A and B are shown apart, each in its own frame.
Chain A
Amino acid sequence: MKVLIVEDERPMALEMEAFLKKAFYICDLAFSARQANELLDNNPYNFILLDLGLPDKDGLVVLKEAKLKCPDASYIILTARGDLEDRIKGLDLGADDYLPKPFSLLELQSRMAAISRRKSGLAGSLVQLGDFSIDLNQRLVFFGKTSIELSKKEFDLLSYLLLHKNRPLTRLQLSEHIWGSFSDDDYDSNYIDVHIKNIRKKLTVHAPADWLQTIRGIGYKIKS
């Protein structure tokens, strides 16, 4: 997967690159609209991560131009402006998703994965975890042929942990994923624990789910 990161804040672009590289994405960096245009002229990309607040051109114009040069790529808009209007305009212009700054890199990767899944259709969306199989597209969990009912949040948590499997996720990261800007400031609370407890309860009726691990003092991870 080839990714073009268009972001004028260098440190920010570099962190994104470092993170995505570990997830096996190949990244190019553009710090201005001009650089982005040059790169788009000569390279095909699967993903274009576009900051709207570029110094040399309006981000929405850059998006329009990029769409012409690279119509098959998936576009994610990144912006600190966070205005609803920008978001609507961006999505109208054909962006696939929108992430307001500051965002978690885990969230960025999960959005990219979701877009990939959506675009590739059903193929390869069934993941095996112990005795369970998880259909990320249909949002279903199976034990053999039996479907297990999970609530929306429970499934969101499970799929987020699954996407970042073998990486411990803190309660903060998990609650930010499911509550977004509604996530609260009191992290000593155990709302995430309640959900995990419920997921475990529903799964262990059928078979042990020891791949869902508690990391003491940190949070949870899925080990596979």
Chain B
Amino acid sequence: MKLLNKLTLYHTLSKTVIVILFTALLPLLVREIASRYTNTALQEQKNKVLQTIDKNGIDYYFQGDSSYGSYTMLKEEYISLDAAPAGFPADTIETTQRIVDKDTLTYRILSHVFEYNHKKYLLEIGKTLAAIDQYNAPLQRVALYALAGLILATLLIDLFFTRLLLRPLGIIIRTKLLNRKFPFKDSHPPVKTTTTDFRYLDDSIIDLMNKITAAFDKEREFTSNASHELMTPISILQNKMENLMDAMPQEEAQEKIMGMMQTLNRLKKIVRSLLLISRIENDQFVRQDSVQAYSLVEEVRAELEDRIEAGCISIEINVSRSVTLHSLNRDLLFQLLYNLINNAIRYNKKEGSIRIYDNAETTEPYILTIEDTGIGIDKADLPFIFNRFKKGSSTTTEGFGIGLSIVKSIAQYHGIELQLVSEKGLGTTCSIVFPAQITSMSPSLPA
């Protein structure tokens, strides 16, 4: 998940939790506040009554009676003054029911016992719960609305600000990390940001890329120069051997010279291959050709006919004639197919078979597959098969493993993906996946 999404999720979740908690706690809170406020109000009223008694005497209330009681019109509040029953606790505030004028109502009641003229009296001041709680619901509602509004506002501000903050990171990822193809030829300017972390990250990435590119350039230059420098002595040696072969017609000498020439030729092939790879990596090939997939495969097959015949291999080609590949180098693509099909022949069993087919009938991308019934590749060797000079540990056939690394360079140069599946002893399947932008299907031609 992207950091921005994570942060957004976090903000939303944390705020939802706050809203839920607040909603759950609000009734309790409001009730608590209302009850406290009521308690205080009741105390104040009690004090007022006591002050009045102090000032005017208890008869001010009793008016000759032995008790006093009064309630408001809707029985929301009442007050009563009476002689205290023995053993009644001195001061309490509790919620309980009272019958007032035939109505049973729930009151919050303050009971206070006091002495006046050596007699104990009980003062009760009560307020109905309905009166106490009458503002709770609207209060809660208003509080919730206010909270929801505030939360929404902060959430929007959070989102906007995180987006703003993280934008440089997004730019760094988009321009410097995603879809970068090695070698890095396109350079991007440093990302504008005041966040030092991002500044550091961006600078480090630019620095690393430059170092990699420099190292790669150096290697490329070295390969190219070394190959050129090696070509001349190889040339001289080859020509000397050819002249020597003429000068020494004895059979034994001829065989020895031939052996030398074969070794030299191997060296020549390696140097030539390295040079080819370095040229590909140096961008020295134009990618402007269009080729029909079928005719190219056929051409390669014809070129390899003798090998197929020598190995008694049956080959089946099932490639659509309506597929044309664009913006590529024909010679390089030929070489790619040549090397792959040649391997399918070389590492095949006697009287084995090769199947070459595509997926033109089905969906994109266009995939050309070469399937053989050869010796297969060890699972352990599969990851290294395209590496320069790496030869499968189990392979006994002569080879210096550069053919496939040429294939890899050519594929990379054209954005082609290669997929190898192999089962030891059963064969190898190589799929060449062409990028959509270089493939086109013409309305199917008569086969």
Which of B279, B285, B400 is within 8 Å of A185, CB to CB? B400
Residues facing A in B220-270 (CB within 8 A) are 228, 231-232, 234-236, 238-240, 242-243, 246, 251, 254-255, 258, 261-262, 265-266, 268-269
Segment of B111-119, B304-312, B316-324 in the binding face: B304-312
Q: Which B residues touch A82, using CB under 8 A?
A: 231, 275
B196 within 8 A of A: no
Q: Which B residues touch A16, using CB under 8 A?
A: 239
A184-B342, A217-B251 known; A15 vs B310 contact (CB < 8 Å): no
Q: Which A residues touch B346, using CB under 8 A?
A: 186
Q: Which A residues touch B288, using CB under 8 A?
A: none
A170, B258: Cβ atoms under 8 Å? yes
Which of A80, A84, A172, A217 is within 8 Å of B228, CB to CB? A80
How far apart are the CA atoms of A168 and B251 in the complex, in Å? 11
A185, B399: Cβ atoms under 8 Å? yes
CB closest chain-A residue, reference B267: A102
How far apart are the CA atoms of A103 and B338 in the complex, in Å? 22
Which of B232, B243, B265 is within 8 Å of A176, CB to CB? B265
B398 within 8 A of A: yes
A187, B235: Cβ atoms under 8 Å? no
A81, B228: Cβ atoms under 8 Å? yes
B46 within 8 A of A: no
CB closest chain-B residue, reference A80: B231
B307, A191: Cβ atoms under 8 Å? yes
Which of B254, B258, B399 is within 8 Å of A172, CB to CB? B258
B272 within 8 A of A: yes
CB closest chain-B residue, reference A184: B342
B104 within 8 A of A: no
Distance (whole angstroms) from the CB of A78 to the closest CB of chain B: 9
CB closest chain-B residue, reference A192: B306
A111 within 8 A of B: no
B234, A102: Cβ atoms under 8 Å? yes
CB closest chain-A residue, reference B249: A168
How far apart are the CA atoms of A11 and B306 in the complex, in Å? 37
A193 within 8 A of B: yes
Distance (whole angstroms) from the CB of A154 to the closest CB of chain B: 10
How far apart are the CA atoms of A82 and B309 in the complex, in Å? 33
B194 within 8 A of A: no
Q: Which B residues touch A188, using CB under 8 A?
A: 398
A15-B243, A172-B262, A182-B303 known; A101 vs B235 contact (CB < 8 Å): yes
B394 within 8 A of A: no
Residues facing B in A82-133 (CB within 8 A) are 82-84, 101-106
A106, B398: Cβ atoms under 8 Å? no
What is the size, in residues, of chain A's interface with B at 8 Å between Cβ atoms?
42
Distance (whole angstroms) from the CB of A184 to the closest CB of chain B: 7
CB closest chain-B residue, reference A216: B251
A138 within 8 A of B: no
Distance (whole angstroms) from the CB of A19 to the closest CB of chain B: 6
A140 within 8 A of B: no
Q: Which B residues touch A223, using CB under 8 A?
A: none
A102, B269: Cβ atoms under 8 Å? no
A186, B240: Cβ atoms under 8 Å? no
CB closest chain-A residue, reference B258: A170
Q: Which A residues touch B285, using CB under 8 A?
A: 84
Distance (whole angstroms) from the CB of B310 to the closest CB of chain A: 5
A12-B232, A22-B246, A168-B254 known; A104 vs B310 contact (CB < 8 Å): no
Contact flags B335-376 to A (C-beta < 8 A → 1, else 0): 100100010001000000000000000000000000000000
A153 within 8 A of B: yes
A15-B240, A172-B261 known; A189 vs B310 contact (CB < 8 Å): yes
B63 within 8 A of A: no
Given contacts A106-B242, A217-B255, 20 further A-B pairs with CB under 8 A are A9-B232, A9-B236, A12-B235, A19-B239, A19-B243, A82-B231, A84-B284, A102-B239, A103-B238, A104-B239, A104-B242, A105-B242, A170-B261, A181-B272, A182-B335, A183-B269, A184-B342, A185-B398, A185-B400, A194-B310
The 5 closest A-B pairs by CB, nearest first: A102-B235, A15-B239, A80-B231, A191-B306, A101-B235
Interface residues of B (CB under 8 A from A): 228, 231-232, 234-236, 238-240, 242-243, 246, 251, 254-255, 258, 261-262, 265-266, 268-269, 272, 275, 279, 284-285, 303, 306-307, 309-310, 335, 338, 342, 346, 397-400
